[in-house]
Amino acid sequence: MAAEELIDFLDGKGIKYVIINHSSAYTTSEIAASAHIKGQELAKTVIVKIDGKLTMIVLPVKYKVSFQMLKEYTGRENIELAGEDEFAPVFQGCMVGAMPPFGNIYGLKTYLDKTLTYDEEIAFNAGNFHQLVKLSLRDYLDLVKPEITHFAAA
């Protein structure tokens, strides 16, 4: 979902949001600094395979996925990072690594790390490396309906 499609989707749902344009940045730390967003608000997406099925993981930019915690939560042992060649075709119009955290739109189960629920807002890439979308956490949760658990490690 390219930025324009994401905006159309949010507008169609009547969601209030802010678009933050920033200089091109490719690491999550650079993006947070460039856009002046707190680390606990800025979400990143990681695509994993759980028992061979693509799954979206959403966590704060400053954290990494704890595969052990994810295995304990899901009860699955076969969890691994998905390769770009495996997930890029699913995210048509998005730059790899800048996918918005709307797994439901892409037909992917979505897990959200509980740490992202400690703030009232959430920000994330808009499908590219120079725009962020910021909206209320409540609206995000209502739209995506992710499973919320703790799987992020510093």
Q: What number of CA atoms fall less than 13 Å from residue 27's CA on the CB side?
A: 5
In angstroms, the CA 9 to CA 12 distance is 5
Strand partners, 134: 18, 123
Per residue in 51-85, pLDDT (tens digit) is 999 999 999 988 999 999 999 999 999 999 999 99
Residues 23-33: b if buried by 16+ CB within 10 A, e if exposed = eebeebeebbe
The conformation of residue 90, written as its DSSP 8-state character, comes to G
* pLDDT < 70: residue spans in the chain: 1-2, 24-36, 38-40
Strand partners, 152: 65
Q: Using alpha carbons only, how large is the chain's radius of gyration in Å? A: 14
Model pLDDT, residue 139: 98
pTM for this predicted structure:
0.91
Instruction: State the fold for domain 3-153.
Output: YbaK protein (3.90.960)
